[in-house]
Amino acid sequence: MSTQLTTAHPPCPTPVSPAMLQRSIRERMSRRLALALIAWGRRTSVGDTDPHERALRRREAHEAHAVHQADLIRQSLHPGVYR
């Protein structure tokens, strides 16, 4: 008996209903909006010269941008799923 290697994909995760997918997208977008508003409030605060705060804001902006870019890539790969 010979052993055969396969390159099949792992089994798909539990199927997600369109309603659950929409809720997940809405939650992610509302969380992102909340973070953006918090970041905007920090940017507009008067007299903010703390270098640690600036570094934190910069890091948050980079992370938000990376998440946004990943979402754009995901949307381009699966155009029917993300509307």
User: pLDDT tens digits, residue range 31-65?
Assistant: 888 888 777 776 666 555 677 877 888 898 899 89
User: 54 is written with which tokens?
Assistant: 């600036």
For residue 4, being part of any structural domain is answered with: no
Cβ(56)–Cβ(35) under 8 Å? no
Quick check: is 63 in a domain? yes
Tell me which residue range forms the domain holding 67: 18-43+51-77
Q: What are phi and psi of 68, to 5 degrees?
A: -65, -45
pLDDT tens column, 11-26: 666 677 777 777 777 7
According to the model, what pLDDT value does residue 27 have? 81
Count of domains in the chain? 1
Residue 22 lies in a domain: yes
Per the CB < 8 A criterion, the answer to whether 61 and 35 are in contact is no
Of 55, 29, 54, give the one whose Cα is nearest residue 43: 54
Amino acid at 24: S
Residue 67 inside a domain? The answer is: yes
Residue 58 lies in a domain: yes
Q: Is residue 59 part of a domain?
A: yes
82 in any annotated domain: no
Pull the structure tokens for residue 20. 């659950």
